[in-house]
Structure 1
Amino acid sequence: MESMPDIVCDVELPRDARSTGIPRSWVRDPEVSLSATGVACHVATYPAGTVVPGAELSRSWAEGDSPAAVVAELVEAGYLLPDGPNRFRLVHPARLGPMPTA
């Protein structure tokens, strides 16, 4: 089974004790699949600076989905930037305009 790379959350989103404010532009982004959106949203629930281990992401991976394909999709869409060997940073894609505020 393919494994996911580690992904560092590099976005600061509004959050409270129960939820994280995922930008609507991410949820409605036609450039990414549901699987890719799910990975981005999962990583974004962590505080900025947190490294989400690929092993953790792989545990929740749907059988039949290709982690390499989803990572490539998120890179192409501007959500992931390389951050070393087998590691990426999750960012707000510049093509979506400014990050919404709380």
Structure 2
Amino acid sequence: MNFQLSEKHTQHESASRRQHEHVDALVLSELNPLVVVDHLDGEHTTLTLLTFGSVREVCPKCQQGNLKLVLRQTSVRMAHLFCAECESCFDARYADGAPALTI
């Protein structure tokens, strides 16, 4: 899949991060991008994803830059963390198993 990222900044970024400051690292599990994103025009067309900032976690797959938060959108079925370097998608949970990407 080809992805093009567009980032949106919100005023509530720091407020949402404050809710779980006491929790250390998130538990990440890789997701199949074909399950997370609807790609109706075929695999070789570029899909634009709107991201909502970077998180502190680094991609566990390629160990490059920080992961980006992608919320549900027209072509995105579920909120997830995305690595722009290797185009991998991840679910995030707290150590106690609670989902980290639900509101």
Give the TM-score taking structure 2 as reference length: 0.29
Higher relative contact order (CA 8 A, sep 6+): 1
**Going by fraction, where is strand more abundant, 1 or 2?**
2
Give the TM-score taking structure 1 as reference length: 0.29
**Going by fraction, where is helix more abundant, 1 or 2?**
1
